[in-house]
């Protein structure tokens, strides 16, 4: 007896996976297929696997904020105030190491920093003149007989001029400054020096072409910024000094060779040379001032020990040599 929703035979037919195929194809599949279909007891439908819960998104790490709440240093990854209690006693590693150094070590750090800056100028100038170095190398390896017999004189002169001018531009832009600054500032100074050098070459080429063609020599803006007024920064990379030292402030023995060198130059070349010399004087003055601060601190510490009756043997010896 059939029910109004269908008979059991219809249900069995609906569960037959091969019911819609051609009879001959059904016989072939039943004979050749490794899987034997049992239309009376079809395989149970695979149960759906429970879906794994989606992992919760990690809390976003906030970037350092200039307007961070008090008590949260910039070194913290959470500038919204989280874990602020853990940062209460935080001190930068450089500050901790500086406190543990003796006065002699601090003075050595200042002198080594100045020497490092001077050495870095040579290295950076070589980096900016890498194309000129390649030209010299190619001349010796691939150049003709006449170039090799002259020891690639033209290429060497071009490289030497690039090296000297790049070093002067670096000094004039404040690369010798011993103030601590991030590496990106040093990179900006290096790129700006290279830009100014190639701008100078382009101006020289335009002037030579104008002279050859008999045209009026074009006017160009100065390569270096105008000399700043008192209290304004000398350039965008170095801080200003209230009383900058001029060449005229130096001793006569030092002034004479410098003035003689400047008198042999004209225009932009003289201005660049003068700015480079002043930059060296400024860097030396910075080193002397920082050393004077340490000497003053030493004198104050010795005077304090003397007033407290804790004067050491070294303090007494130092007082004898100082005449105090």
| DSSP state at residue 218 | P
Q: Which domain holds residue 205?
A: 106-224+250-307
Note whether 218 and 72 are same-domain residues. Answer: no
> Residue 103: its pLDDT value, please?
75
284-311 confidence digits (pLDDT tens): 888 888 888 888 888 888 888 878 887 7
Q: Is residue 197 part of a domain?
A: yes
Note whether 191 and 165 are same-domain residues. Answer: yes
User: How many domains does one find in the chain?
Assistant: 2
Q: What is the mean pLDDT of residues 201-230?
A: 82
Q: Is pLDDT of 39 > 80? A: no
Strands (E), the chain: none
pTM above 0.85, yes or no: no
| DSSP state at residue 6 | B
215 SS3 class? coil
Note whether 89 and 126 are same-domain residues. Answer: no
Q: Is pLDDT of 33 > 70? A: no
Residue 6, strand partner residues:
3
66-96 confidence digits (pLDDT tens): 554 556 767 777 777 777 777 777 777 767 7
Q: How far apart are CA 82 and CA 76, in angstroms?
A: 9
Q: Is residue 188 part of a domain?
A: yes
Asked whether 267 and 259 are in contact (CB, 8 A), the reply is no
Note whether 262 and 129 are same-domain residues. Answer: yes
Q: What is the mean pLDDT of residues 215-222?
A: 88
Q: How far apart are CA 315 and CA 303, in angstroms?
A: 9
Q: Is residue 55 part of a domain?
A: no
Q: How far apart are CA 174 and CA 238, in angstroms?
A: 6
Q: Is residue 243 part of a domain?
A: no
Note whether 171 and 196 are same-domain residues. Answer: yes
> Residue 129: its pLDDT value, please?
96
| DSSP state at residue 3 | B
Neighbours of 197 (CB within 10 A): 21
Neighbours of 267 (CB within 10 A): 8
Q: Is pLDDT of 36 > 70? A: no
Task: Answer with the one of 83, 100, 117 that is the final residue of a domain.
Answer: 100
Q: Is residue 58 part of a domain?
A: no
222-240 confidence digits (pLDDT tens): 888 765 443 334 455 665 5
């Amino acid at each position: 007896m059939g029910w109004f929703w269908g008979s059991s035979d219809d249900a069995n037919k609906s569960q037959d996976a091969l019911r819609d195929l051609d009879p001959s194809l059904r016989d072939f599949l039943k004979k050749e297929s490794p899987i034997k279909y049992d239309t009376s007891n079809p395989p149970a439908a695979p149960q759906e696997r429970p879906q794994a819960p989606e992992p919760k998104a990690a809390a976003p790490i906030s970037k350092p904020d200039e307007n961070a709440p008090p008590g949260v240093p910039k070194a913290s990854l959470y500038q919204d105030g989280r874990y602020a209690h853990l940062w209460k006693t935080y001190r930068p590693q450089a500050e901790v190491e500086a406190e543990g150094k003796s006065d002699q070590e601090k003075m050595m750090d200042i002198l080594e920093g100045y020497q490092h800056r001077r050495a870095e100028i040579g290295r950076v100038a070589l980096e900016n003149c890498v194309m000129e170095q390649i030209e010299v190398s190619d001349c010796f390896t691939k150049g003709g007989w006449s170039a090799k017999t002259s020891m690639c004189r033209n290429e060497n002169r071009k490289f030497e001029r690039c090296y000297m001018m790049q070093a002067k531009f670096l000094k004039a832009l404040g690369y010798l400054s011993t103030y601590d600054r991030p590496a990106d500032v040093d990179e900006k100074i290096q790129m700006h020096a290279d830009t100014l050098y190639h701008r100078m070459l382009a101006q020289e080429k335009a002037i030579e072409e104008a002279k050859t063609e008999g045209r009026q020599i074009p006017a160009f803006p100065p390569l270096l910024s105008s000399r700043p007024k008192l209290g304004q920064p000398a350039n965008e990379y170095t801080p200003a000094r209230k009383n900058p030292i001029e060449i005229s402030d130096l001793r006569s023995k030092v002034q004479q060779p410098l003035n003689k060198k400047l008198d042999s130059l004209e225009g932009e070349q003289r201005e660049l040379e003068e700015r480079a010399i002043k930059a060296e004087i400024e860097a030396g003055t910075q080193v002397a001032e920082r050393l004077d601060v340490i000497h003053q601190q030493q004198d104050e510490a010795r005077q304090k020990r003397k007033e407290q009756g804790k004067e050491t043997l070294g303090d007494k010896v130092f007082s004898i040599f100082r005449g105090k």
